[in-house]
Amino acid sequence: MCGIVGYVGDGQAAPFLLEGLTRLEYRGYDSAGIAVYDGEKIRIEKSVGRLSELKKKIEGNVPVGSTGIGHTRWATHGRPSDMNAHPHADCHGDFAVVHNGIIENYMTLKEDLIAKGHIFVSETDTEVLAHLLEEVYDGDFESSVRKVLSMVEGSYSLVFMSRRDPGMLICSKQDNPLVIGLGDGENFIASDIPAIINRTRRTYILSDGEIAVVKKDAIWVTNHAGEPITKKVFEVNWNAEAAEKGGYEHFMLKEIHEQPKAVRATLSSRLAKDDSAVVLDELKWNRGFLDSVNRIFIVACGTAYHAGLVGKYYIERMARIPVECDIASEFRYRAPIVDDHTLTIVISQSGETIDTLAALKEAKRLGSRTLAVTNVVGSSIARDADQVIYTWAGPEIAVASTKAYTTQLIVMLLIALYMAGIKETMPQKRIAELIRGAREIPTQIGKTLEDVDPIKTFAKQYGFNEDVFFIGRSLDYDVALEGALKLKEISYIHAEAYAAGELKHGTLALIVEGVPVIALATQKSVYEKTLSNIKEVKARDAVVIGIAAEGDTELKKYADHVIYVPEADEMLIPLLTVVPLQLLAYYAALTRGCDVDKPRNLAKSVTVE
Ligand code: F6R
């Protein structure tokens, strides 16, 4: 989604703005622009398309100046075009602004401003911010920005610059992330840490409603009422290298290979040494609290939602508390039955997904206790929830989520085991067995990654099919959903996942000769049933690629090919079976020449509805 950068300091603004925006490219965008104060005027340069287009446009004539802002836009209001790209300016070029989010009352404001003589040049909601500032500016930049913000409704992170107030940027946020990087004789603003990470690891993370005035040697933060706020420095604990490709062709491949490390980190210090219990110091729940919870909602989007489905299974099976798993954009609008006996768990890699954040706020409003599972420390969701458990996956850059998913599964397992331990809903022996099994998972994922040649071959063989089906039962079905999403989003192959038992209720009509069906068969209680479903599709001449645990001798009798993953407890095996599906999607996308890390129309962090 859109990216924001800002620079004020002793150095040149443009090189940082371009470098910062490059580091935010992974978020997905369709146009880019920068604005730099050159001592006389604010020079704005923008271009539709990739950042390389913008760089080409200003080659040999890069804006000179030490205060500037930049933006990568992902179109919401108005098509991708040079005009609609940010930064946007007022009528006289006195002010420029970059903005992520949506100004919901922009039409009313725009009509009013047009009536007062303002000339608009773009179709965006953002442009009203610049004209509004021009309209209310009274010589005091800070109080004028405060006035503008009091007039707008919606979600935003934004940065203003002013020709009349050189050497000063003003930024604020509401439901969209924004950080300030603290430098020496220079300061930085960004919507996301990777933009500034190779300049500084010392940051202020802005909270909703805060307004920061940023100069090269001073920063002050206030709330909407103008009262000062003391910010704590947040030290980022990962480095630029962690956000780079490290020799892999794509971030996605790097992140798939980082899964053993990420899962190990997420488990570390959360398991008792003697394997007797899960230790979640973050939660400190007791029997009284868990007995008071009569229903759990797990709410998330996309891949995180798929992790939630596995979480539902874990919690219901292990802790015997009813769980509903909901898509955040549905939950927030469907008047869910939530009260103070409800626990709502939201899962979000970025911690910024607007629907998940809104669902969290709605659950809180209705009286629910809330727990966030997220990968980003200090993210909006982490800050809004009553409690947080972090996945320690490190920065996930590729749009397609991989290591975030596996670490989310691990956290859901930990939560379920932790609950089961407190509620005594599971024999101690079984808890210890699963903990021992979880300890093995990182090594087993590593083994799954050792031999990818068969997967490459299947990807080449079937990568040009237009439809692929994924089937499975129980936890295999949940993983099938994630496998299908991965394939769709990066290879653009139409892929659907079905509970294998559902096939006969309609989908079987689509199974004809040569259609690839990826069949997961790892769940013992439904194994025979899954085999029957596989026979059904084989009888329609589908090509079946089976996914099974080592030691399975049956599946190969019915499938055309079988990919084996190490043998593991059937509760834990989703952490392994998803890996070949991620790789299949990756190599299929490569076969089809797709932009793996930045698939079309998609963005990493979905901060608009
Ligand atoms: C798919 C993918 C998305 C995200 C979804 C939620 O690979 O990455 O489906 O899972 O947009 O994002 P987060 O987890 O950041 O809330």
Instruction: Convert the pLDDT of each residue in 160-214 to its tens digit.
Output: 999 999 999 999 998 788 999 999 999 999 998 989 998 999 999 999 899 999 9
Tell me how far apart the 2 most distant CA atoms of the chain are, in Å. Answer: 80
Strands 3-9 and 186-190: antiparallel
Based on the number of CB atoms within 10 Å of its own CB, is 57 exposed (0-12), middle (13-18) or buried (19 or more)? Answer: middle
Given CA atoms 473, 478, 479, 483 in this order, what sign does their dihedral have? Answer: positive
Tell me which of 256, 329, 377, 401 to substitute to probe ligand 1's pocket, judged by most ligand atoms within 8 Å of the beta carbon. 401
Mind listing the pLDDT tens digit for each residue in 509-558? 999 999 999 999 999 999 999 999 999 999 999 999 999 999 999 999 99
Mean of the pLDDT values across residues 115-129? 97
- Name the residue among 102, 84, 177, 106 with its Cα closest to residue 609: 102
User: What pLDDT, on a 0 to 100 scale, did the predictor assign at position 247?
Assistant: 72
Q: Would the CB of 444 count as within 6 Å of ligand 1?
A: no
Mean pLDDT of the chain: 94
Residue to mutate (ligand 1; options 353, 373, 397, 582; most atoms within 8 A of CB): 353
Atom 3 (ligand 1): residue with closest C-alpha?
302
Residue with tokens 């500016």: 137
Helix or strand holding residue 53 (H, E): helix 51-58
How remote is the CA of residue 600 from the centroid of ligand 1, in Å?
15
Q: What is the crossing angle of helices 574-591 and 403-423, to 10°? A: 170
State in Å: Cα 381 to ligand 1 middle: 14
Pocket test for ligand 1, best of 303, 327, 346, 396 (most atoms within 8 A of CB): 303
302 lines ligand 1 (CB under 6 A): yes
Nearest-atom index, ligand 1, CA of 404: 14
Token pair of 339 as six digits: 């009260």
3-state DSSP call for residue 236?
Answer: coil
Neighbours of 231 (CB within 10 A): 18
Structure tokens at 271: 């398991």
368 lines ligand 1 (CB under 6 A): no
What pLDDT band is residue 488 in, cutting at 50, 70 and 90? very high
Residue minimizing CA distance to atom 16 of ligand 1 = 348
What is the identity of the amino acid at 323? V
What's the pLDDT score for residue 480? 98
Q: Counting atoms of ligand 1 from 1, which one is nearest the CA of 374? A: 14
Tokens of 369: 């206790």
Quick one: average pLDDT of 410-419?
98
Q: Atom 10 (ligand 1): residue with closest C-alpha?
A: 303
Decide: 353 in ligand 1 pocket, CB within 6 A: yes
> What is the DSSP code (8-state) at residue 386?
S
> 53: closest CA among 75, 79, 82, 78?
82
Nearest protein Cα to ligand 1, atom 7: 400
Q: Which atom of ligand 1 is nearest to the CA of 349?
A: 14
- Cβ–ligand 1 distance for 301 under 6 Å, the answer yes
- Closest Cα to atom 6, ligand 1: which residue? 301
What are residue 212's DSSP bridge partners?
171, 221
Centre of ligand 1 to C-alpha 605, Å, is 7
Which of 65, 16, 9 is CA-nearest to residue 36?
Answer: 65
Q: Give 236 or 135, the one with higher predicted confidence.
A: 135
Segment 575-602 shows an average pLDDT of 94
Predicted local distance difference test score (pLDDT) of residue 485: 98
Q: How would you write 306-337 as a 3-class SS string? A: HHHHHHHHHHHHHHCCCEEEEEHHHHCCCCCC
What is the rounded CA–CA span in Å between residue 185 and residue 218? 9
Beta-bridged to residue 323, according to DSSP, are: 296
Asked if the model's pLDDT at residue 605 lies above 80, the reply is no
Q: Around Cβ 581, how many Cβ atoms within 10 Å?
A: 25
User: Which residue's C-alpha comes closest to atom 8 of ligand 1?
Assistant: 401
| Alpha carbons within 13 A on the beta-carbon side of 343 | 23
Could you tell me if the CB of 516 is within 6 A of ligand 1? no
Planar angle of CA 34, 35, 36, nearest 5 degrees? 120
Q: Does ligand 1 have an atom closer than 6 angstroms to the CB of 299?
A: no
CA nearest neighbour of 298 among 351, 359, 249, 388: 359
Answer yes or no: is the C-beta of 349 below 6 A from any ligand 1 atom: yes
Any atom of ligand 1 within 6 Å of the Cβ of 400 = yes
What is the per-residue pLDDT for 79? 83
The pLDDT of 289-296, averaged and rounded, is 97
Protein residue whose Cα sits closest to atom 5 of ligand 1: 302
Which residue in the block uniquely carries the two structure tokens 């992520």? Answer: 100
Buried residues in 310-338 as b, exposed as e (16+ CB within 10 A): bbbbbbeebbebebbbbbbbebbeeebeb
The percentage of residues in the chain with a pLDDT greater than 70, rounded to a whole number, is: 99
595, burial (CB in 10 Å: exposed 0-12, middle 13-18, buried 19+): exposed
Structure-model confidence comparison of residues 37 and 332, the more confident one: 37
Q: Please tell me the distance from the alpha carbon of residue 355 to that of residue 245, in angstroms, as a whole number.
A: 30
For the segment 212-260, what is each residue's pLDDT rounded down to a tens digit? Answer: 999 999 999 999 999 999 999 999 877 776 777 777 889 999 999 999 9
Ligand 1 atom closest to the CA of 402, numbered from 1 = 7
Q: Work out the pLDDT band at 382, boundaries 50, 70, 90.
A: very high
**Ligand 1 pocket member 72 (CB < 6 A):** no
Distance (angstroms) between ligand 1 centre and the Cα of 404 equals: 9
Distance of CA 560 to the CA centre of its chain: 36
For ligand 1, what atom is nearest to the CA of residue 400?
7
Rounded to the nearest angstrom, the distance between the alpha carbon of 355 and the centre of ligand 1 is 11
Average pLDDT over residues 417-444: 97
CA 606 to ligand 1: nearest atom: 11
Residue 1: pLDDT over 70: no
- CA nearest to 380, candidates 149, 155, 171, 176: 176
pLDDT of residue 34: 98
Pocket perturbation via mutation, ligand 1, pick of 192, 251, 301, 403 by most ligand atoms within 8 A of CB: 301
Q: Quick count: other Cβ atoms within 10 Å of Cβ 504?
A: 11
Q: Give residue-wise pLDDT tens across range 362-376.
A: 999 999 999 999 998
CA 503/CA 477 separation, integer angstroms: 12
Query: Can you tell me the mean pLDDT for 381-404?
Result: 93
| Residue 385 pLDDT level (bands cut at 50, 70, 90) | very high
- Burial class of 40 by CB neighbour count within 10 A (0 to 12, 13 to 18, 19+): exposed
Q: What percent of the chain has pLDDT over 90?
A: 85
User: What pLDDT sits at residue 465?
Assistant: 82
d(CA 551, CA 181): 53
Ligand 1 and 482: CB distance under 6 A: no
Spatial contact of 498 and 525, defined as CB atoms under 8 Å apart: no
Q: What angle do CA 326, 426, 282 make, to 5 degrees?
A: 60
- Give pLDDT, residue 2: 84
Question: Out of 110, 254, 486, 604, which one is annotated catalytic?
Answer: 604
- Ligand 1 contact via 489 beta carbon (within 6 Å): yes
Q: Please, which residues have CB within 8 angstroms of residue 451's CB and are 6 or more apart in sequence?
A: none
Does the beta carbon of 401 lie inside 6 Å of ligand 1?
A: yes
Ligand 1 atom with minimal separation from the 302 CA = 9
**Cβ neighbours of residue 228 closer than 8 Å, sequence gap 6 or more:** 220, 221, 222
Q: Ligand 1 test: best mutation among 349, 373, 377, 402, most atoms within 8 Å of CB?
A: 349
In this structure, are residues 59 and 9 in contact, taking their beta carbons and an 8 Å threshold? no
- ω into 442 cis (within 30 of 0): no
Quick check: 76 pLDDT over 80? no
Ligand 1 center–CA 520 separation, angstroms: 23
Asked if 2 is an active-site residue, the reply is: yes
| 123-151 mean pLDDT | 97
Q: For residues 324 and 309, what is the distance between their CA atoms, to the nearest angstrom?
A: 9
Q: Which residue has the tokens 């599709």?
A: 537
Asked if 510 contacts 469 with a C-beta cutoff of 8 angstroms, the reply is: yes
